[in-house]
Amino acid sequence: MKYVLLAVTALVTLAAAVLLGPADVPLGDIVASPIVWQLRLPRAVLAFLVGGALGVSGVGLQALVRNPLADPFLLGLSGGAGLGAVAAIALNLPGPWALPLAAFVGAVGAMALVYRLGLIGGAELDPRVLLLAGVAVGAFAAAVTTALVSLAEATELRNAFLWLWGGFSGASWTTVLVFVVYAPLPLVVLAAAARPLDLLALGEEPARYLGADVRTLKRLVYLAASLLTAAAVAVAGVIGFVGLIVPHLCRLVWGRLHRTLFPTAFLAGGILLAAADTLARTVVAPRELPVGIVTALLGVPVFAFLLRRWTVS
Amino acid sequence: MRRWAHRTHLVGLLTLAVAACAEKERPASKGGIAVTDDAGRRVTLAAPAQRIVSLLPSFTELLFAIGAGDRLVGRTAWCDYPPEALAVPSVGDGMPPNVEAVAARRPDLVVLYHSGQNVPAAEQFERLGIRTVLLDLNLLEDLGPAARRLGVLTARRPAADSLARVMDSVASQPPAPSTRSLAFIVWDNPPIVIGAGSYLDRLATLAGARNVFHDISSPSAQVAIETIAARDPEFVAVLSDSTGAPRYAARPEWQVVRAVQRRRFLFLPGQLFGRPGPRVAEAVRELRRRLGTAP
């Protein structure tokens, strides 16, 4: 029943995202309108996919570092992406895709660095080492970014931060296609890790005794979740909060088994972000709100409600 | 010890207050000059400013236009007009002001843009004994009053007043009937456009063009691409010194905006259009000419 409700909500959200918008498109013209076909539909699909990816990646990382505060961007990814984006503007890299590509390269660079630090001295991606390395790399990237912004002459640099705060203005069928081609591999890797991740929740030693290859598991989950997040940053900037709260939300409703957590987090993340983007586009029309603000405004009350029910029962 | 420090501080404040009162009582009598700036502060000088640091390109232009350019001893890195301004030493980008670099120029007056972060900067200068004036410069209407007060502070009143009259008359011009429509897109992701509360919106109106985002009252705002597409401006105005199409023009999602798809861009050099200044009439004429010759 709960699954049916989730699926129906997903469909309703996507339909609303296509039907509602700041521009007035009469119902009869919806099929023919380029505004709907070239802007709204790809934007709704992209928001759903990115939300889903962030939800799944949040589930994976929270399981990996066994810390409820983990968020896909915690491990230095947002700092790296920011550095990449600002560098692209400061160096005036040409081409319409320079900014997202540079952000992706920055995010992957930060990920590689944190990964390497997480293996230092046989630490084997110890959660504590990973978290510290993530914070350190993130802080370093942020410092370099700020130095670039204050030293470079380009007046556009301040706008790089606007981009970084996240949004779906860059959505088109091209970005959807890139994401659809890219995302399945890390998603499949994470889904395949569902059972061993359940074991990992018992602790590393017990998981090993129960037959999980903890070493490989942690590496694969870390790489897959981070690569998924890096792609999300490249197409939509840093949209916080979805990857933090959706896993908790799903755990409250569906329990702790990763076999159900991954698909439900994908759908719930997609619903949250697609709905948030629809509101961002419509509530203050003709103006638009940054989508990150709406995700928090929408997600926190739902989360507070569930938390209350959960602690009461 | 602590209490003593407190007390000296109090005494200092009192002396300052008394001095301030005394100053107020003898306004401008012994060749002194005084104006009230846009932060509501009374700015008094014993003699016309001789060593001025300007911390906004518009002020630099205004000072040159009223014939006080030779008294500039410092400017921002952005002050590139008139060409003579480039000979004045730069004190950095001015946001926020580098207090030490400005003070090193030993100015007797620092002209600052009236913004949140410049108010404490002005206080820092005053503590160093450097007089400051904070002036608004967001709208066309701010130009005349700014020019007049700079004229008083530099004893260039006749030149300043006549310049101010020209700018006031531009500001009070009735809007030309609009025959063309445009949107100012200053950033693409997220799309940021210029609204009614801006100098650029006013320039467009005076040049006979309708800003399609005139209904947004703030100076600028984030909008969705579909809103731009639905409003369908004839032109997209780009503040840029180059005339190459902006990067986003090649992105698929922007092709829904007709003016972008047809590459109907108006490239407006930032030096002339990017800031309110004494060349406002020239800017209006230039924009009108470009709108007229555009296909």
Instruction: Tell me what pLDDT residue A2 has.
Output: 85
Instruction: Tell me what pLDDT residue B31 has.
Output: 60
Instruction: Read off the pLDDT band of A313 (50, 70, 90).
Output: low
Largest alpha-carbon pair distance within chain B? Answer: 78
Please check whether residue A85 is in contact with residue A160, taking contact to mean a CB–CB distance below 8 angstroms. Answer: yes
Phi and psi based region of residue B133 (left: phi greater than 0; alpha: psi -120 to 50; beta: remaining)? beta
Is B241 part of a structural domain of the chain?
yes
Q: How far apart are CA A99 and CA A84, in angstroms?
A: 8
Residues B193 and B109 in one domain: no
Q: Which of B144, B170, B196 is a domain's end point? A: B170
Q: How far apart are CA A157 and CA A207, in angstroms?
A: 48
Examine the pLDDT at B161 and tell me if it is beyond 70: yes
Q: Is B225–A290 a contact, with Cβ atoms under 8 angstroms apart? A: no
Peptide bond just before A286 cis, omega within 30 deg: yes
- What's the domain range around B136? 28-170
Dig out the tokens for B71 from the structure.
Answer: 């008294």
Residues B45 and B73 in one domain: yes
In the predicted model, what is the mean pLDDT of residues A33-56?
95
Q: Between B190, B231, B250, which is nearest A96 by CB?
A: B250
Chain B positions touching A284 (Cβ under 8 A) are: none
Map residue A138 onto helix, strand or coil. helix
Residues B139 and B219 in one domain: no
Residues B86 and B219 in one domain: no
Chain A positions touching B256 (Cβ under 8 A) are: 34-35, 38-39
Nearest to B95 by CA among B57, B130, B131, B61: B57
The model's pLDDT over B234-285, given as tens digits with 9 standing for 90+, comes to 999 998 888 888 989 999 999 999 999 999 999 999 889 988 999 999 999 9
**What mean pLDDT, rounded, does chain A reach?**
90
The domain tally of chain B equals 2
DSSP string, A155-221: TTHHHHHHHHT--STT--HHHHHHHHHHTHHHHHHHHHTHHHHHHHTT-HHHHHHTT--HHHHHHHH
The domain tally of chain A equals 1
Is B249 part of a structural domain of the chain?
yes
Chain B positions touching A35 (Cβ under 8 A) are: 226, 229-230, 256
Q: Tell me chain A's radius of gyration from C-alpha atoms.
A: 20
Please check whether residue A155 is in contact with residue B76, taking contact to mean a CB–CB distance below 8 angstroms. Answer: no
Phi and psi based region of residue A256 (left: phi greater than 0; alpha: psi -120 to 50; beta: remaining)? alpha
Of all residues in chain A, the one with the smallest CA distance to B244 is A94
Residues B147 and B220 in one domain: no
Is B205 part of a structural domain of the chain?
yes
Instruction: Read off the pLDDT band of B23 (50, 70, 90).
Output: very low
CATH number, domain with residue A263: 1.10.3470.10
Residues B70 and B164 in one domain: yes
Residues B40 and B89 in one domain: yes
Examine the pLDDT at B166 and tell me if it is beyond 70: yes
In the predicted model, what is the mean pLDDT of residues A178-204?
94
Instruction: Read off the pLDDT band of B8 (50, 70, 90).
Output: very low
Instruction: Read off the pLDDT band of B21 (50, 70, 90).
Output: very low
Map residue B144 onto helix, strand or coil. helix
Examine the pLDDT at A241 and tell me if it is beyond 70: yes
Chain A positions touching B226 (Cβ under 8 A) are: 21-23, 35, 39-40, 281
Q: Is B224–A281 a contact, with Cβ atoms under 8 angstroms apart? A: yes
ipTM of the complex: 0.87
Dig out the tokens for A171 from the structure.
Answer: 């959505």
Please check whether residue B112 is in contact with residue B118, taking contact to mean a CB–CB distance below 8 angstroms. Answer: yes
In the predicted model, what is the mean pLDDT of residues A215-228?
93
Instruction: Read off the pLDDT band of B17 (50, 70, 90).
Output: very low
Q: Is A24–B221 a contact, with Cβ atoms under 8 angstroms apart? A: no
Task: Give which of B189, B211, B220 to mutate to test A binding, by max A Cβ within 10 Å.
Answer: B189
Q: CB-based contact (8 Å) between A23 and chain B?
A: yes
Is B20 part of a structural domain of the chain?
no
Residues B60 and B186 in one domain: no
Query: In this predicted structure, which of B14-23, B182-191, B214-223 has the lowest mean pLDDT?
Result: B14-23
- What's the domain range around A52? 2-312
Chain B positions touching A153 (Cβ under 8 A) are: 77
Q: Is B189–A34 a contact, with Cβ atoms under 8 angstroms apart? A: no
CATH number, domain with residue B112: 3.40.50.1980
Q: Which of B125, B141, B170 is a domain's end point? A: B170
| Residues sharing a CB contact under 8 Å with residue B3, sequence separation 6 or more, in sequence order | none
Rounded to 5 degrees, what are φ and ψ at A247? -60, -40
Chain B positions touching A97 (Cβ under 8 A) are: 251
Residues B125 and B239 in one domain: no
The model's pLDDT over B104-143, given as tens digits with 9 standing for 90+, comes to 999 999 999 998 889 999 999 999 999 999 999 988 999 9
Q: CB-based contact (8 Å) between A281 and chain B?
A: yes
Examine the pLDDT at B7 and tell me if it is beyond 60: no
DSSP string, A68-120: TT--TTTTTHHHHHHHHHHHHHHTT--STTHHHHHHHHHHHHHHHHHHHHHHG
Residues B65 and B37 in one domain: yes
DSSP string, B84-95: GGGGSPB----S
The model's pLDDT over A113-172, given as tens digits with 9 standing for 90+, comes to 999 999 988 878 888 899 899 999 999 999 998 888 878 766 677 777 778 778 999 899
Residues B48 and B112 in one domain: yes
Element (H, E) at A264: helix A258-282
Is B117 part of a structural domain of the chain?
yes
